A and B are shown apart, each in its own frame.
Chain A
Amino acid sequence: MEQNRENLQQAIRQLPEYQPPAGLWDTIAGELDFDQTLEKPLQELPVYTPPADLWDSLAARIEQAPELAPEKGIRPAYKWLVGLVLMALGVWVFLPVAPPVAPASIPTTPAQSAEPIALNNQPQQIRTTQTNNTQKKAVKPTSKPRLAHRTEVVDDALIMACRSAEDPNYDLVETLCKEALPVCEEPQFKQLKAEFDDLTQAHTALKNALGQYADDPDLVSQLIDIEQARDQVLQQLMAMM
């Protein structure tokens, strides 16, 4: 409890003001100039590269370290992707050998077709009915349907690009984590790393299958999807480091 508090408040309002020493602002300005002077050369400090044989030594150490082998098992987040790949493999392997019918709406080019497709001259009157996964029947009430097939050719360069999906950056991630970087112990980092391992397993399985049937466009498409997912995860891992 306070009585006559207004007297205290009045005195507080009349308290004197003080000025800093004359040279204070010059000192502050001088320190700022010093900081700015130092900032530029700090950014321009030379960058040193490791000896040329360092990466070879590193790669050799990685190969000799059994604990760097990818973990077994599939993480739930990518089970669906692995499942899709395996399902695609199964469907492809057990496909009945029957030439598919090209839909009327898909144009073909000589590079994509082993044979030119000869369809009816009135495509707007044709209705297609899918009877199973491999055959389509063109129905026209007044004329006999004509069937054709095409063979899709996959670009060799694309296949080779998919086959050479080695990851030196991931090797670097593994090596740096061996040095006990704190970021490697973060849950998000561990999760990303596990996802990358799962994708790598799926990639390896699909690549093995592709080794036998290198001209299948569906498998190549699946492989590209996995490659892209792996790249994204790897970029996130590198960004965190």
Chain B
Amino acid sequence: MYTTAYRITGDVEWAGEALQDAFMQVFKHIGSFEQRSTLGAWIKAIVVRAALQKVDRRKSSMTSWPEEYGDTMLDWGTSPIDAMQLEQAIQRLPEGARAVFVLAEVEGYAHKEIAEMLDISEGTSKSQLFAAKKRLRELLSPQMMY
């Protein structure tokens, strides 16, 4: 949970505050858990939302992203990607694109779920994910072999 919060916020202090806010909500509203998902998934969604609230600039950073990557082919290279370098690259992404990438690729949320969490359209979620991947590939390209 903390890792998710940190990866979304990109800040240790914000991650701690988000986790704290999230668990306060969990303890206060545990009675309203309707078992439509697992308890873990329910708590994680609350943590994600709390982390997103800390990154309140996500919408402005999303609108600043160009969306002309539609026909671009992304190639992740033939050699393994170093996880620590990937982590550093993720943290260099703009906040909005980073949140979408973490939620989609790391946490496994669907674009519909991401759109609801971030209050954006599914199309925006998809374009932000593609933009994030494009930027990651650029950041990782010095070590990539093709």
Which A residues fall within an 8 A CB radius of B?
A: 1-12, 14-21, 24, 27-28, 31-32, 35
With a CB–CB cut-off of 8 A, which chain A residues contact B138? Answer: none
CB distance from A174 to the nearest CB of B (A): 36
Residue of B nearest to A21 (CB): B16
| Interface-lining segment among B20-28, B51-59, B111-119 | B20-28
B23 and A5 within 8 A (CB): no
Report the bound CA distance from A12 to B106 in whole Å. Answer: 6
CB distance from B92 to the nearest CB of A (A): 15
Subset of 20 A-B contacts with CB under 8 Å: A1-B73, A3-B76, A4-B75, A7-B77, A7-B80, A7-B81, A8-B105, A9-B105, A10-B81, A11-B82, A12-B83, A12-B86, A12-B105, A12-B106, A15-B106, A16-B83, A18-B2, A24-B16, A28-B23, A31-B20
Report the bound CA distance from A35 to B75 in whole Å. Answer: 52
- Given known pairs A3-B73, A31-B24, the reply for A15 and B87 (CB within 8 Å) is yes
Residue of B nearest to A10 (CB): B80
Which B residues fall within an 8 A CB radius of A?
A: 2-3, 6-7, 12, 15-16, 19-20, 23-24, 27-28, 73-84, 86-87, 105-106, 133
With a CB–CB cut-off of 8 A, which chain A residues contact B16? Answer: 20-21, 24
With a CB–CB cut-off of 8 A, which chain A residues contact B133? Answer: 2, 8
Option from B2, B24, B74, B81 in Cβ contact (under 8 Å) with A3? B74
4 nearest A-B residue pairs (beta carbon): A14-B83, A11-B81, A4-B76, A20-B2
Report the bound CA distance from A18 to B47 in whole Å. Answer: 15
CB distance from B76 to the nearest CB of A (A): 4
Report the bound CA distance from A14 to B86 in whole Å. Answer: 10
With a CB–CB cut-off of 8 A, which chain B residues contact A14? Answer: 83
Option from B20, B78, B80, B84 in Cβ contact (under 8 Å) with A28? B20
CB distance from A204 to the nearest CB of B (A): 47
Report the bound CA distance from A31 to B17 in whole Å. Answer: 13
Option from B19, B73, B77, B79 in Cβ contact (under 8 Å) with A20? B19
Residue of A nearest to B79 (CB): A7
B74 and A1 within 8 A (CB): yes
Report the bound CA distance from A18 to B74 in whole Å. Answer: 29
